[in-house]
Chain A
Amino acid sequence: MHRSEIKRKIAGTLFVLPAFLVHFLVVTLPGLTLFYYGSTKWNGLGRPEFTGLSNFFRMLTDNDFYLALLNNIIWTLFFFIVPIAFGLAVALAVINLRRSQMLFRSIFFLPYVMSAVVVGRIFSILYSPYIGITSIFKNIGWEGLGNLSLLTNIRTAPLAVAYADHWHWWGFVMVLFLAALHQVNTDLYEVADIEGANAIQKFWYVTLPSIVPTLVTIYMITLIGSFVTFDYVYVMTKGGPAGITEIASTWIYKKSFWDYNAGYASFLSLMICFLCIGFYFIFRIIQKRGLEV
């Protein structure tokens, strides 16, 4: 290699170092301690007691943890479908409205700048059986809907909490799609027009392929994010009542801070870490395959 090339490489590596160091020291290194704590019995206050793999065996019989993971899966499915559908549909519609595009972009993106604490609290109030949305239904006279208590029904509770996060999130997805749509080569549409394609065919053959990279990245973020999400459930229900909105992160949090089981909680955190890293690698493979195709 030329001297200048080596110089460049060294310079480049130096450039990357600050970010790497800061991240490694603050995030990864403490993360590595999870390996240690995960193999102990520790009440979070005193000295950890080394217990080897006992936490692993405990996880195998921990039904509540699996129910929590199930909720994570429901969360994932919800976020795979709903915000993507909203975001894409609205992006497709808005891209044709030249003049009002900016306005709508702002309106739909607005919730994204609000904190989870605020959004969660407002939705909690809206979901309240006495002073929330259902009170409007009662006033109109729709008794059935008026008696809904979204957060106590085992079927609706996780979705109700997820919807609050969705309301916050899908504007962002829309903006991403909008950006991707702007990148689409308009010449391709003209060609499609000449070939006599209708709207649906244009979407399928021109639009969709161009936004696939964006779609894949969003899916990856969604998948991983669905397993580490914490704020909304914590603020709105703390996993209750009776664990119907419990997700992995709140369960782990409770084990650590409410139950004095920090060793076990660390182990579970480690498992979730591995899961997410696994998801990441799966997506990398998909992306690589996609490029080849």
Chain B
Amino acid sequence: MRIRRRTQIVLLVLISLVALVHSFPFLIMIMNGLRTNEEVSRVLVAFPTDPQFQNLPRVWTKGGYLEGYFSSFIIGIGTVILVLFIITLAAYGIVKLNIFFRNFFTAYFIGSLSIPMFGILIPLYFTFSKLGLANNRFGMILIYSPIYIPFNFLFMRAFFIGIPSELEDAARIDGCSELKTLWYVTLPLARPIMTTVALIVFTFTWNEFLFANVFLSDDAIRTVALRFYKFTGEWQSDYAYIYMASFISIIPVLFLYFFMQKSFIEGMTKGSLKT
């Protein structure tokens, strides 16, 4: 839609205002993380006139975030790799190859969005505990991977539908096996959506709380989300520290997001949700 310059400026102003209000909680988090507890308890919003930069290292050590980061990274990266692997295969199979029971599988993956996670918590813990996978990062990866399949399958499938099948057909005519076709033809085109899925899955894993809380009982392997929860748990009332801890909890995903933005948006753009 082409619109007049004046309207553009008006829109710019409006949107900037909305952006400011929208960023408010985020700005508070950063500002208050640098103030002291007394200041924060008295006045909610104020610019830190005496920035307490030492809050950062203090909260970092108090909350054990080094181990938390390590754990969360391992679980995150592991889950991303596993998810990308199995979803790409599945989406390719369903969209590009006329497999048996295609409708069943599609319906299965999308419909499993509706299974509430808290319902399967106990039976899952039961089984994993017996298998020795409960208190364990690898087990966590195994649990997280299927959970994020339905949501990301939707995107990947839409994206693959958008790739004209002539390209794959050409490869097949040239004598490529399906795997080769997938690898050499489809995947390079699918980089944006894979980046998107990777980002979404990593973020979810980084932030997941319910399952991690139940399964990871060993302090050494508890993730960042759990450490934050424990940090602000029953006995912590230093609000400045809580704000700083919030900030520490989200730094990596923030970074990841800023760096992968372009790919991420591309992935969403090309994989628009056509059915």
Q: Which residues of A contact B (CB under 8 A)?
A: 5, 8-9, 11-16, 18-20, 22-23, 25-28, 30-31, 33-34, 37, 44, 90, 93-97, 100, 102, 104-119, 121-123, 125-126, 131-133, 135-136, 139, 167, 175-176, 178-180, 182-183, 189, 193, 199, 202, 207, 213-214, 216-218, 221, 224, 227-228, 230-231, 234-235, 249, 252-253, 256, 262, 266, 269-270, 272-273, 276-277, 279-281, 284, 287, 291
B261 touches A106 (CB 8 A): yes
B19 touches A113 (CB 8 A): no
Q: List 13 additional contacts besides A18-B90, A28-B115, A262-B122; criterion CB under 8 Å.
A: A11-B178, A11-B179, A15-B93, A20-B90, A26-B124, A97-B11, A104-B19, A114-B250, A121-B228, A178-B265, A228-B117, A272-B116, A273-B119
Interchain nearest-CB distance for A93 vs B (Å): 5
Q: Which of A115, A122, A135, A280 contacts B207 (CB 8 A)?
A: A115
Q: How distant is the Cα of A131 from the Cα of B238 in the complex, in angstroms?
A: 12
Interchain nearest-CB distance for A238 vs B (Å): 13
Q: Which of B19, B25, B99, B179 contacts A122 (CB 8 A)?
A: B25
A16 touches B269 (CB 8 A): no
List, in ascending order, chain A residues with CB within 8 A of B64's CB. none
Q: A16-B105, A27-B147 are in contact. Are A213 and B44 (CB under 8 A)?
A: no
B99 touches A13 (CB 8 A): yes
List, in ascending order, chain B residues with CB within 8 A of A253's CB. 118
Q: A27-B146, A108-B19 are in contact. Are A131 and B40 (CB under 8 A)?
A: yes
- Closest residue of chain B to A111 (Cβ to Cβ) is B26
Interchain nearest-CB distance for A90 vs B (Å): 7
A269 touches B257 (CB 8 A): no
B44 touches A252 (CB 8 A): no
Q: A167-B22, A213-B275, A273-B115 are in contact. Are A118 and B124 (CB under 8 A)?
A: no
Q: How distant is the Cα of A9 from the Cα of B99 in the complex, in angstroms?
A: 4
Interchain nearest-CB distance for B41 vs A (Å): 5
- Closest residue of chain A to B101 (Cβ to Cβ) is A13
Q: A30-B124, A272-B119 are in contact. Are A107 and B12 (CB under 8 A)?
A: no
- Closest residue of chain A to B255 (Cβ to Cβ) is A113
List, in ascending order, chain B residues with CB within 8 A of A97's CB. 8, 11-12, 15
List, in ascending order, chain B residues with CB within 8 A of A119's CB. 25
Q: Which of A12, A23, A178, A224 contacts B109 (CB 8 A)?
A: A23
Q: List 12 A-B contacts (CB under 8 A).
A: A19-B153, A28-B115, A30-B127, A34-B119, A102-B261, A135-B43, A178-B265, A179-B272, A218-B273, A227-B116, A253-B118, A277-B114
A15 touches B15 (CB 8 A): no
Q: How distant is the Cα of A202 from the Cα of B44 in the complex, in angstroms?
A: 45
Q: Which of B149, B177, B250 contacts A113 (CB 8 A)?
A: B250
Q: Mark B1-42, 1 if CB is under 8 A from A, else 0.
A: 111000110011011001100110110110000000000110
Interchain nearest-CB distance for B217 vs A (Å): 15
* Chain B interface, number of residues (Cβ within 8 angstroms): 100
**B97 located at the interface, meaning its Cβ lies under 8 Å from any Cβ of chain A in the complex:** yes
Q: Which of B40, B92, B154, B242 contacts A15 (CB 8 A)?
A: B92
A115 touches B250 (CB 8 A): yes
Q: How distant is the Cα of A213 from the Cα of B272 in the complex, in angstroms?
A: 9
B109 touches A100 (CB 8 A): no
A110 touches B90 (CB 8 A): no
List, in ascending order, chain B residues with CB within 8 A of A105's CB. 261, 265
Q: How distant is the Cα of A114 from the Cα of B207 in the complex, in angstroms?
A: 7
Q: How distant is the Cα of A112 from the Cα of B229 in the complex, in angstroms?
A: 18
**B81 located at the interface, meaning its Cβ lies under 8 Å from any Cβ of chain A in the complex:** no
List, in ascending order, chain A residues with CB within 8 A of B124's CB. 26, 30
Q: How distant is the Cα of A256 from the Cα of B210 in the complex, in angstroms?
A: 14
List, in ascending order, chain B residues with CB within 8 A of A270's CB. 119
Q: How distant is the Cα of A178 from the Cα of B8 in the complex, in angstroms?
A: 17
List, in ascending order, chain B residues with CB within 8 A of A175's CB. 265, 268
B210 touches A230 (CB 8 A): yes
Q: How distant is the Cα of A106 from the Cα of B261 in the complex, in angstroms?
A: 8
A5, A183, A218, A262 interface centre (most CB from chain B within 10 Å): A183
List, in ascending order, chain A residues with CB within 8 A of B145's CB. 22, 26
Q: How distant is the Cα of A46 from the Cα of B190 in the complex, in angstroms?
A: 50
Q: Which of B23, B111, B142, B208 contacts A107 (CB 8 A)?
A: B23
B250 touches A217 (CB 8 A): no
Within 8 A of A (CB), among B237-275: 239, 242-243, 246, 249-250, 253-254, 256-258, 261, 265, 268-275
- Closest residue of chain B to A109 (Cβ to Cβ) is B257
B15 touches A180 (CB 8 A): no
Q: A106-B261, A113-B250 are in contact. Are A249 and B112 (CB under 8 A)?
A: no
Interchain nearest-CB distance for B264 vs A (Å): 9
**B73 located at the interface, meaning its Cβ lies under 8 Å from any Cβ of chain A in the complex:** no
Q: How distant is the Cα of A117 from the Cα of B68 in the complex, in angstroms?
A: 15
Q: A104-B15, A104-B19 are in contact. Are A273 and B209 (CB under 8 A)?
A: no
List, in ascending order, chain B residues with CB within 8 A of A266's CB. 119
List, in ascending order, chain B residues with CB within 8 A of A180's CB. 272-273
